[in-house]
Structure 1
Amino acid sequence: MTETTVPAPARRGLLKAAAIGAAGTAVLATPNVSRAQTTTLRFQSTWPQRDIFHEFAQDYVERVNRMAGGRLRLELLAAGAVVGAFQLLDAVHAGTLDGGHGVSAYWFGKNKSFSLFGTTPPWFNDANHMIGWFYYGGGEALYRELMHDVLRMNAVGFMTGPMPTQPLGWFKNPIERADQIRGLRYRTVGLATDLFNEMGAAVVALPGGEIVPALERGVIDGAEFNNPSSDRVLGFADVARNYMIQSFHQRVECFEILFNRQRYEGLPAELQAILRHGAEAASADMSWKQQDRYSRDLVALAQGGVNVRPTPRPVLDAQLQAWDRVIQRLEADNSAPANGPLFKKICDSQREWCRRVGGFYLRYEASAVISYNHFFARG
């Protein structure tokens, strides 16, 4: 058998081979970072710039921009910069805006089912349970059916940011009886419009920045917006001194993040994931931030002379009875397939989730009222 001898390489050859090997290793170790030009998306909120809701929109934008690593940038604009708050969905559909931050109840005029993804009947325990239904209880598929199949809107959306129960609102005189709502000129949005109409109010839908001026001029007699921080900075306490907290008209609500569908689907999969998962991250952060800010601002309002009062039980009971009538009427609306049948389909899905999930938490958790009173309500 003949032995094959491999000649030893020259020193220059060894150095060259080593250089190639090192370069090869460097190539393998270097992340595959795209050097593509930054894609910028114009992203408008439906909130005044000074409102904490616009701050929540900014928190989402900052998370996306940091995670995108220079490949994608959201440019945040305040309400009215391109279109009014109630025109956001149409602007995103048309491509006038690439995306935006709002609430689905604002599109209530297109189809009342939209409000079921924002201001639902009060069968959810809290807004986080509603977002759970959206992502794990079939809600997202129903949302796409409404957005794409029924209304043919060129938009995609994510639910984010669970909101606490909204107050009954601000009034010149306290609301002590349900009959005081009859004839009241009152601002709200979404399905709460139907609820208060059922209770005899004359409802006016206004975006956030227009509510306090309307109260000041006497155009409306009472109004709700959302929370102590927004209400404080928007100046509600300057025009009304009675703040009625606790209500069933908007027991839960969450934000909606919208993008133009073609613009979104034209992005690489990893950037689509950042937009979607950024909404999840911002949702968690918002739920923590509002704990600090809302509680502080409610104390500040009370210390500033605002009469903060819980809504009386008879008013809450009257709201629930009115909800029964509103739901029954809307579920029975057969004027078009996209009305009553779809509305009932969504309500059935929510009720199934709430019976199981809401029932679980009511049975499983000890009462927070008992422990709070034990530690903090003792004389």
Structure 2
Amino acid sequence: MDQGVSRRGFLKAGAVGPASAAAVLATPSVLRAQSPIVVKMQTSWPSTDFGMDAAKAYADCIRAMSGGRLAIELTPAGAIVGAFQVLDAVHDGVLDAAHTVPAYWYGKHKGASLFGTGPVFGGSATVMLAWIHQGGGMELYRELTQDILGLNTYGFFAFPMPAQPLGWFKEPVTAVADIKGLKYRTVGLAADLMQKMGMNVVQLPGGEIASAMERGVIDAFEFNNPSSDMSFGAQDTAKNYFLSSYHQASELYEIIFNKDFFDGLEEDLQAILRYGVDAVSTINTAMALNTYSMSLQKLKDEHGVRLHRTSKALLDAQLRAWDALIPELERDDFIRRCMDSQRAWVERVVFYELMNAPDYAFAYDHYFPGKLKL
């Protein structure tokens, strides 16, 4: 029954007096009481992972912004499909939505990784999220997902992640020779990159990493951040944690919706789902800075983890590996056009950023002398 018609008819019939009518008018939440539209969303993250907390923050935003008209039913990786299968499940309508990253479906098209795990060209994840919104990235993403791959989905991007650590190693690594031949877990184009550097790459969901390390399936790994890594026991599998890397320095969360489901919603609910992504992006950033920094301290102080900055020799080798990989990738017309767009954006935007930004490390060392010497 139409709520507006029901309300007008109720008052017109004189079923309530003036005082009662005023009370009803003052409580629209009562008038709107109805079962919410349930959005079945699965993440690509284990239940204890930071990604689940980030997705829950989005679900909370959507419930509040919609006045309870939308309710996201959130489940972790594996509840319905595997962590790497959420895109197919959303496309097929098995799920209404998913919280994931494009690197998890780069097997469909390597261009997917350009929306989070491609060459950074000097730009951070914040720069790449700005490219999506202002530099033509969203149009290219729509071309890839809908025109090239024919996916029955829409996708939006949230949370410019801090650069991901190089990861966990049983012994310190400082030169390319130290990592050659190691069985290493990563995903997306980072897998191609590390193979160029001589590593043997295994792609695994986060929930399988610790057991793979214990069984010798992998020798070293990266996942995402100190909090997520600590949640699945990374500190119990290795004690050398290398921070700073170019393999995934600009990743974003991708929030995907089934196109038929999304198009069937009222326009204001579509807008809430869309712009709720932007709201939670800010929330997730604050959550991450707080949580990641506390977790890093715990890893160091309570678990005896040795923190290292990745050597310049390894960082330089990563850039040279990207240099070798990029021409191979650019044989694909879409990837070439996408990278051209990113390079033009980064060249202009990061020039401004770097010219304008003060040396924050210099100021930090002034007030907290000696702490940066790991």
| TM-score normalised to structure 2 length | 0.90
Q: CA deviation at 1:35?
A: 5.4
Residue 41 (structure 1) shift: 1.3
Q: Which residue of 2 aligns with 1:309?
A: 308
| SS of equivalent to 2:38 | strand
Correspondence for 1:224 among 222, 234, 237: 222
**Equivalences for residues 208-247 of structure 1 within 5 A:** 208-247=206-245
Shift of 1:374: 1.6
Q: Distance in 2 between matches of 1:260 and 1:113?
A: 21
Root mean square deviation of aligned Cα = 2.1
Alignment-mate amino acid for residue 317 of structure 1 = D
Match of 2:363 in 1: 371
Instruction: Provide closer, same or farther for how the CA distance between residues 215 and 34 of structure 1 changes in structure 2, counting only shifts above 3 A.
Output: same
In the alignment, what sits opposite 2:182? 184
Query: 1:124 touches 1:252 (CA, 8 Å); kept in 2?
Result: no
Residue aligning to 1:295 = 293
**Following the alignment from structure 1 to structure 2, what is the Cα–Cα distance between the partners of residues 135 and 310?**
32
Q: Deviations over 1:320-370 (max 9, x none)?
A: 0000111111102xxxxxxx1000111111111101111111011211122
How big is the shift at 1:26? Answer: 9.2
Contact 2:165 2:245 in 1 (8 A): yes
> How many residues are aligned here?
355
Deviates more, 1:297-306 or 1:36-45: 36-45
Counterparts of 1:1-379 in structure 2 under 5 Å? Answer: 34=32, 37-303=35-301, 304-332=303-331, 340-377=332-369
Kindly state the Cα deviation for residue 125 of structure 1 after the two structures are TM-superposed: 2.8
Q: Please identify the structure whose Cα radius of gyration is greater.
A: 1
Runs of 5+ consecutive residues of structure 2 not aligned to the other structure: 1-15
Cα contact 1:138–1:349 (8 A) shared by 2: yes
Distance, in Å, in 2 between the alignment partners of 1:201 and 1:348 is 28
1:80–1:253 CA distance, 2 compared to 1 (3 A): same
Conservation of the 8 A alpha-carbon contact between 1:92 and 1:99: yes
- TM-score, scaled relative to structure 1: 0.89
Segments of structure 1 that go 5 or more residues without pairing to the other structure are 1-18, 333-339
Q: Check conservation: 1:232, 1:297, Cα contact below 8 A.
A: yes
**Pair 1:35–1:357, CA change in 2 (3 A):** same
The question of whether the paired residues in 2 share the 8 Å contact of 1:124 and 1:130 is answered with: no
Letter in 1 for 2:353: Y
Task: Say if 1:128 and 1:27 are closer, same or farther in 2 by CA, change over 3 A.
Answer: same
Greater CA deviation, 65-74 or 45-54?
Answer: 65-74
Kindly state the Cα deviation for residue 371 of structure 1 after the two structures are TM-superposed.
1.2
Mapped partners of 2:305, 2:24: distance in 1: 65
Runs of 4+ in structure 1 off by over 6 angstroms are: 19-33
What's the secondary structure of 2:156's corresponding residue?
strand
* Compared CA separation, residues 124 and 27, structure 1 to 2 (3 A): farther
Q: Distance in 2 between matches of 1:378 and 1:183?
A: 35
In the superposition, relative to structure 1, how do residues 302 and 24 fare at CA in structure 2: closer, same or farther (>3 Å)? closer
Q: CA deviation at 1:378?
A: 6.1
CA distance in 2, matches of 1:229, 1:121: 25
Distance 1:71 1:85 in 2: 28
Aligned-partner SS, 1:255: strand
The 2-side partners of 1:372 and 1:133 are apart by: 29
Is the Cα–Cα contact under 8 Å of residues 37 and 70 in structure 2 kept in the other structure?
yes
How far residue 51 of structure 1 moved from its aligned partner, in angstroms, is: 0.8
Counterpart contact for 2:63–2:71, Cα < 8 Å: yes
Which stretch shifts more, 295-304 or 31-40?
A: 31-40
- Cα deviation code 1:84-121 (max 9, x no counterpart): 00000000000000001010110110000000011121
